[in-house]
Amino acid sequence: MKVLVIGCGFVGARAADLLHAAGHEVFGVTHSSTSAERLAAEKPWPVLTCDVSSLESVQALRAQAGPVDALIHCASSGRGGAAMYQTVYVDGMMHLVTAWPDAWPLYTSSTSVYPQTDGSTVDESSHADPDRDTGRLLRAAEQIALDQGGTVARLAGIYGPGRSFILKNLLEGKSGVEVAAEAPDGRLLNQIHAHDAAAAVVHLITHRHSGIFNVVDDAHMTQRACLEALATLFSVPVPGVKPPDPGRKRGWSHKHVSNARLRATGWIPAYPDYLEALQQDPHLVSSILAEVLEAREAEFPRAENIVLIGLMGSGKSTVGRFVARLLGFQFADTDHMIVNRAGCSIPEIFAREGEAGFRKRESAVLRELLGSRRHVIATGGGIITQPVNLPLLRHLGFITWLEAGTDLLVRRTPSNNDRPLLRGEEPPRVKLERLIQERGPIYKSLADLRIQTDDLTQEESAYGVAESARIFFAKRGV
């Protein structure tokens, strides 16, 4: 099938990727030449530029791309109001179906067309007569696709790596539970992971399902329940209540949007529940933490744990156990967690899945540790080699780098039965020296405290860690 994907943003680019991977011929279309250049450099599919609000521009695109089997309108109105909705959505849709009268059109609309505020469950047969201009314009654009016998995908609130307003606002202390008389626990949330939104669009167009489909996950969650769960997971205060924000882009609403019709076509969401997606998606939490860290490092939420980093043999597990005993904290060891979950040893994991498989498991246990409090967490020496782990480590607690000279490291890692990295061709001493060179700068950039342990007993190191952590958390009022 030959498909035009108009608008290569958060959902469009993913849809184009999925179509391309499935062997379809895809053209990505974007408004600006800068994003066209960026996408063309990154993506395996060709990218064209077009301003869909102009019929001439769409006709030029028609001449370039030739006939197509299907077109997906995924373009965004940016931050524009009703005027942009008119030109990008309504006029744009009309221009596209005029230029390709025989192509199957799919229009990506929004569940904000349902104005219900009574907490009821809405499906595609429920009334969708928005009380706002923007909503009415979405409906007009939908109608153009429907009149052609095409498809309308009504997308819920989209989140994914680099985008989760709920989590970002919470971490930045800007959240509140928006309560109203009919929504005492805040409004009902209707969300969809960007991957699932793109997969739904591709599913609908490749199977030629016509009509309207809600694209939303399976969760039934009030804003309060979601924020309380997130507050526990990220060790931040539960936000207070506030009145509904009249400026919300999608308007005030309180309804549960059903995905039953889409599910009946065989679509299965990979991320059926937002809270589970935080654990499932390796990039989601890390990307949001990274944004918050960059914007406001001083107020970045740090959980009340102690995280030990450093090379193998630096004493993380032994010192960690002492620290835990001194402070009455629990002890966790990422290597042990990985072995428990996998049901086999680290060398076996390396042998079966390679180092890459081991690193994936290591990142997953780090996400599992979200929500822990009063733990001492000893980490594997290489955990810092994966950039995705760094924001999580920083969030998880007070970070201590245990340093030791090569002689001591070599003495402490004698048999290396459990350390596949020291069993390669390079002699252990040479390998350890190279790892110090490679990893030292990363340990340094992460560490709140650095302890040179060569001349200390492991108890003495533990006292240093415990005391410094106590001061660190006291200063932050923990």
Query: Can you read off the two tokens belonging to residue 469?
Result: 């952590």
The single residue among 335, 366, 389, 469 that binds ligand S3P, judged by CB under 6 A, is: 335
Work out how close the CB of 335 gets to ligand S3P at its nearest, in angstroms, rounded to a whole number: 5
Work out how close the CB of 442 gets to ligand S3P at its nearest, in angstroms, rounded to a whole number: 12
In 165-249, which ranges are E strands?
177-178, 188-189, 191-193, 211-215, 221-222, 241-242
Q: Is 256 in the site for ligand S3P (CB under 6 A)?
A: no
Q: Is 366 in the site for ligand S3P (CB under 6 A)?
A: no
| CA–CA gap between residue 121 and residue 152 (Å, rounded) | 19
| CA–CA gap between residue 172 and residue 301 (Å, rounded) | 9
Q: Name which of 152, 113, 118, 117 is nearest 130 in CA terms.
A: 113
Angle formed at CA 273 by CA 210 and CA 223, multiple of 5 degrees: 105
Work out how close the CB of 279 gets to ligand S3P at its nearest, in angstroms, rounded to a whole number: 20
**How many residues belong to the site for ligand S3P (CB under 6 A)?**
10
Beta strands 330-333 and 256-257, pairing class: unpaired
Q: Name which of 271, 68, 249, 245 is nearest 161 in CA terms.
A: 271
Any bridge partners for residue 106, and if so which? 72, 151
Work out how close the CB of 421 gets to ligand S3P at its nearest, in angstroms, rounded to a whole number: 5
Q: Is 346 in the site for ligand S3P (CB under 6 A)?
A: yes
| CA–CA gap between residue 463 and residue 442 (Å, rounded) | 24
Given a contact cutoff of 8 angstroms between Cβ atoms, the answer to whether 187 and 252 are in contact is: yes
Which of 188-196, 236-244, 387-395, 414-422 is the region at the interface with ligand S3P (rule: CB under 6 A)? 414-422
Q: Is 419 in the site for ligand S3P (CB under 6 A)?
A: yes
Angle formed at CA 371 by CA 365 and CA 377, multiple of 5 degrees: 55
Work out how close the CB of 312 gets to ligand S3P at its nearest, in angstroms, rounded to a whole number: 3
| CA–CA gap between residue 268 and residue 217 (Å, rounded) | 9
Which of 12-20, 73-81, 399-407, 418-426 is the region at the interface with ligand S3P (rule: CB under 6 A)? 418-426
Work out how close the CB of 451 gets to ligand S3P at its nearest, in angstroms, rounded to a whole number: 16
Q: Determine how many CB atoms are found less than 10 A away from the CB of residue 57.
A: 16
Work out how close the CB of 18 gets to ligand S3P at its nearest, in angstroms, rounded to a whole number: 34
Q: Is 168 in the site for ligand S3P (CB under 6 A)?
A: no
222 or 386: CB nearest ligand S3P: 386
Work out how close the CB of 13 gets to ligand S3P at its nearest, in angstroms, rounded to a whole number: 34
| CA–CA gap between residue 174 and residue 299 (Å, rounded) | 13
289 or 311: CB nearest ligand S3P: 311
Work out how close the CB of 118 gets to ligand S3P at its nearest, in angstroms, rounded to a whole number: 53
| CA–CA gap between residue 449 and residue 472 (Å, rounded) | 10
109 or 413: CB nearest ligand S3P: 413
Write b or e for each residue in 211-231: b if 16 or more Cβ atoms lie within 10 A of its Cβ, otherwise e: ebbbbbbebebbbbbbbebbb
138 or 421: CB nearest ligand S3P: 421
336 or 470: CB nearest ligand S3P: 336
Please report, as residue ranges, which positions from 421 to 450 form the binding site for ligand S3P (by CB under 6 A): 421
At which residue do the structure tokens 């599913």 appear? Answer: 203
Which of 15-23, 87-95, 194-202, 417-425 is the region at the interface with ligand S3P (rule: CB under 6 A)? 417-425
Work out how close the CB of 455 gets to ligand S3P at its nearest, in angstroms, rounded to a whole number: 21
- In the stretch 264-283, what mask flags binding to ligand S3P with x, by CB under 6 A? --------------------
The single residue among 115, 269, 382, 397 that binds ligand S3P, judged by CB under 6 A, is: 382
Work out how close the CB of 296 gets to ligand S3P at its nearest, in angstroms, rounded to a whole number: 31
Q: How far is CA 293 from CA 28, 165, 283, 412, in A?
A: 33, 15, 15, 35
| CA–CA gap between residue 91 and residue 130 (Å, rounded) | 19
| H helix or E strand, kind and range, residue 39 | helix 33-42
Q: Is 160 in the site for ligand S3P (CB under 6 A)?
A: no
Q: Name which of 204, 21, 213, 15 is nearest 105 in CA terms.
A: 204
Q: Is 380 in the site for ligand S3P (CB under 6 A)?
A: yes
Q: Is 381 in the site for ligand S3P (CB under 6 A)?
A: yes
Which of 18-26, 228-236, 253-261, 413-421 is the region at the interface with ligand S3P (rule: CB under 6 A)? 413-421
Any bridge partners for residue 122, and if so which? 257
- In the stretch 94-113, what mask flags binding to ligand S3P with x, by CB under 6 A? --------------------
Given a contact cutoff of 8 angstroms between Cβ atoms, the answer to whether 317 and 458 are in contact is: no
Work out how close the CB of 380 gets to ligand S3P at its nearest, in angstroms, rounded to a whole number: 2
272 or 347: CB nearest ligand S3P: 347
Please report, as residue ranges, which positions from 285 to 314 form the binding site for ligand S3P (by CB under 6 A): 312
| Interacting residues with ligand S3P (CB under 6 A) | 312, 316, 335, 346, 380-382, 419-421
